[in-house]
Structure 1
Amino acid sequence: MHRVCWDCGDRTDDDRQVRCDCGEPLWLDGEPEPVPDDWPPRVDSMWDLVPYLGVDAPTPPSGIASAAGGTPLVRTAPLDDGGPRIHVKPEGLNPTGSFKDRGTAFGIAAALERGEEHIGTVSHGNMAASVAAHAASVGLDCTVLVPADIADERLAAIASYDPRLLRVEGDYGKLYFESLAVGRETGVRFLNSDVPLRVAGQATTALETLAQYARESAGESALPDALVIPVSSGGHASGTWQAVRTLVDAGIIDEPPRLYFVQTAACAPIAEAYARGDETVTPVDAGETIAYSIANANPPSGARALGAARATDGAVVAVDDDAITHAGKRLAESAGIAVEPASATTLAAVDGLVEDGELADGDDVVLVATGRGFGGTGGAAGSEQVALSALGEALE
């Protein structure tokens, strides 16, 4: 699978390289020619959409990866409140309860095709649970790196899938980069938040949404006006941009829907960079927030998320905890959809986007509810604690 830098355009055939020499992240290099023209397809799982990425895709594996995606697009009229027409994409219906299953499934499939036996990730939430569960379902060895101060209930939920758990002392922000370097040395393929394989799998969220909207609107060229998505590392935002770019390049759609990304106000480095008109993202100090899972103070694909918003005439905004709480209640009480706080940021952002003139009455707007939250049973027994500097030795 060829990889290309989204920013400078440099290419590589090294399937272990995830960042360009310029410092920006890579993604799989899609070609519009092989993209099927039978749009919109019927959708049973994410694998029905992968051909529309125009990449050299792996064969769908067995295990729960075969069931990733295929979540519905729900018209939620009670949430309209006289403004935009709201639709919700409930990604909590994926096998482990979040959109992370899409990227994990793609990465697992690629690892199996290459005969690899060891995978891993750096996460203290949905991605950790997803990678551990998918690895268990196909018999792959799995290592999950979490911060040393991880909450017991989160550790227990991840541990229920019996991965090798390492609680790493030190700067958690550096662990993303350190794990990739150590993974090359030890043979562990880390499916971290914005690596090319994960981004490609997560691109199917947008592809699936647009295909479902077109089918339900009985029009091949029908598109929602906007997609509203929580953003943390920028990996899902990158996949969304990759998806719509590919459809435009293949001539399936004329122009993409506007992409709006939402952060929690307590930790909003991408939104702050967008407001300043910056091209790059400056790390921030994260504050306390109920949307803990998207409080990424130094997002590795922050600049790529900025590029996605600007290229589609969208925006990056931030919402506070009070608005998130209220939106979560509305989603549950008015639409019957219970989501984690990170997902509720999307509805919380709608009012502000309307006030700013970004969204208009009657616009068709899709809120991507990325997860249903954390759950699981089991204990935290068996986890090890290591120093960041000793990570390589611990993985050998």
Structure 2
Amino acid sequence: MSPALRCYRCGDRYRDPLRVRCDCGEPLWFEPDAAAFGWEDCRAYDGAWRYEPLLPIDRPEGVARAAGGTPLVRSEGLDDAAGCRVYVKDEGEHPTGAYKDRGSAAAVPHAVAAADGAVGTVSYGNMAMSPAAHAASLDRECVVLVPDDISPVRLELIGQYEPTIVRVDGDYGALYGDALDLSDELPVRFLVSDAPARISGYATAMFEICEAFAPDAPDAVVLPTSSGGFASGLWRGIRDLEAAGRLDDPPRLCLVQTAASDPITRAFESGATDPTPIAPDETGETIAHSIGNPGPRARVRALAAVRDTAGAVVSVDDDRDTSRAAAVPVDGGFCVEPASAASLAGATRLSERGEIDDDDAVVLVPTGTGFKELGTGDASVATERTNRSALPERLASLLGAR
């Protein structure tokens, strides 16, 4: 049986396993009985299901079994840019190339077990691909609501899993609330960004990080932030490990937003507890489109996570983000989407402010691969040309110039 759903803010509990929001308006999450958990209780499974005792479902079938277990790599090449000792938790190595698979691995099978009908989501990016893939692996229909002006490239990425794709004209941002209503009216369960089982799946990233550092912990975890769901999941993981007595000094959660749309940063800097959504005329263009969220649904909980862990929220602009996007593959060897490069840019800014020290162990979390982005922008790449007979001499000249 699933653990009880609880509101982190008011403490109310619910037994409806498919409920998403509390009566107070805040998102719910599953609260497992973690008090007796120890690392020795981990299952002999790969990936996220190693932590099955702390999850709301047992290990399911399908591509969910491939979720989690992403590498944590010490990346000395990024130390100078970040101003600290860098570790990279590469979430782009999931089946659909993004951290969303951790959430879908728990949320899709949980929804399938709890109700008949299709599963669905509202997204035109990583969040669209992930539930579609996980539903396909369980032979369950999936409905994806996308904006009417979606690009052909994104349609191709989503369409490979053959979900029912519905292009919706009108206020796309309002579809979150519409989706929750539609879940009550139609035979489809929409899995929004802060669905409780999804948050449980995200918590496994923190379990993996902390187990790798045990008995110590990293000084900080830096991640790009959109809806606030992933930040909520990492905070849930910290709380579970604290309840289990496995984490005495938790890492600081540091969130990074794009300056084009940064309501959580503004609230953090002003001391507010409830970030105010950004109006359309205040929202700018950004290459980090996946974190350009003017009204994050879990914004209050994400901000609470930051303050509870003595963390920080910073914003980065496209110029800085672009330069860091180049540094991540060149100096670190990781191919990441522009929004993921914001984690490095954010760590750099925190170091410049003195909030991260040069000897701090800091985990950067690239949330999505950059390979899905290739071919969608400037394809010009500098090259050299020569003929075969002149190749040795030309290579010697090129290598000597470096």
| SS of the residue 1:15 aligns to | coil
- 1:28 is displaced (CA, Å) by 0.7
Q: Report the Cα distance in structure 2 between the residues aligned to 1:335 and 1:41, rounded to whole angstroms.
A: 32
Unaligned runs of 5+ in 1: 215-220, 378-396
User: What does residue 84 of structure 1 align with?
Assistant: 84
User: What does residue 74 of structure 2 align with?
Assistant: 75
RMSD over aligned CA atoms reads 1.8
| Mean Cα deviation higher: 367-376 or 6-15 | 367-376
C-alpha offsets along residues 117-174 of structure 1, whole Å, 9 cap, x if unaligned?
4100111100101111111111001000111121221112101111000111121111
- 1:373 is displaced (CA, Å) by 3.9
User: What does residue 48 of structure 2 align with?
Assistant: 46
C-alpha offsets along residues 38-79 of structure 1, whole Å, 9 cap, x if unaligned?
27888731111242x3x5x21222221111111110110011
Indicate how the Cα distance of structure 1 residues 374 and 190 shifts in structure 2: closer, same or farther if over 3 A, else same.
farther
| Mean Cα deviation higher: 99-108 or 41-50 | 41-50
- 1:184 is displaced (CA, Å) by 1.6
Q: 2:78 is aligned with what amino acid?
A: L
C-alpha offsets along residues 312-370 of structure 1, whole Å, 9 cap, x if unaligned?
00011100011111111111001110100111000001121012221001100000110
- 1:190 is displaced (CA, Å) by 1.3
Alignment of 1:237-386 (within 5 A): 237-284=231-278, 285=280, 286-373=283-370, 375=372
Q: Report the Cα distance in structure 2 between the residues aligned to 1:308 and 1:103, rounded to whole angstroms.
A: 18
| SS of the residue 1:81 aligns to | helix
- Tell me the percent identity: 49
Q: Is the 2:337–2:373 Cα contact (8 Å) retained in structure 1?
A: no
Q: Report the Cα distance in structure 1 between the residues aligned to 2:114 and 2:252, rounded to whole angstroms.
A: 37
Q: Is the 1:231–1:263 Cα contact (8 Å) retained in structure 2?
A: yes
Alignment of 1:124-143 (within 5 A): 124-143=124-143
Q: Report the Cα distance in structure 1 between the residues aligned to 2:199 and 2:104, rounded to whole angstroms.
A: 9
Unaligned runs of 5+ in 2: 375-402
Q: 1:44 is aligned with what amino acid?
A: D
Q: Given the two structures, how large is their TM-score scaled by the length of structure 1?
A: 0.89
Q: 2:95 is aligned with what amino acid?
A: P
Q: 2:350 is aligned with what amino acid?
A: L
| SS of the residue 1:86 aligns to | strand
Q: Is the 1:43–1:70 Cα contact (8 Å) retained in structure 2?
A: no
User: What does residue 62 of structure 1 align with?
Assistant: 61
Indicate how the Cα distance of structure 1 residues 145 and 374 shifts in structure 2: closer, same or farther if over 3 A, else same.
farther
Q: 1:240 is aligned with what amino acid?
A: L
- 1:187 is displaced (CA, Å) by 2.6
Q: 2:188 is aligned with what amino acid?
A: V
Q: Is the 1:125–1:374 Cα contact (8 Å) retained in structure 2?
A: no
User: What does residue 184 of structure 1 align with?
Assistant: 184
Q: Given the two structures, how large is their TM-score scaled by the length of structure 2?
A: 0.88
Alignment of 1:126-205 (within 5 A): 126-205=126-205
| SS of the residue 1:4 aligns to | strand
Indicate how the Cα distance of structure 1 residues 375 and 304 shifts in structure 2: closer, same or farther if over 3 A, else same.
same
Q: Is the 2:103–2:200 Cα contact (8 Å) retained in structure 1?
A: yes
- 1:34 is displaced (CA, Å) by 4.4
Q: Which has the larger Rg?
A: 2
Q: Is the 2:335–2:371 Cα contact (8 Å) retained in structure 1?
A: no
| SS of the residue 1:357 aligns to | coil
Q: Report the Cα distance in structure 1 between the residues aligned to 2:152 and 2:132, rounded to whole angstroms.
A: 17
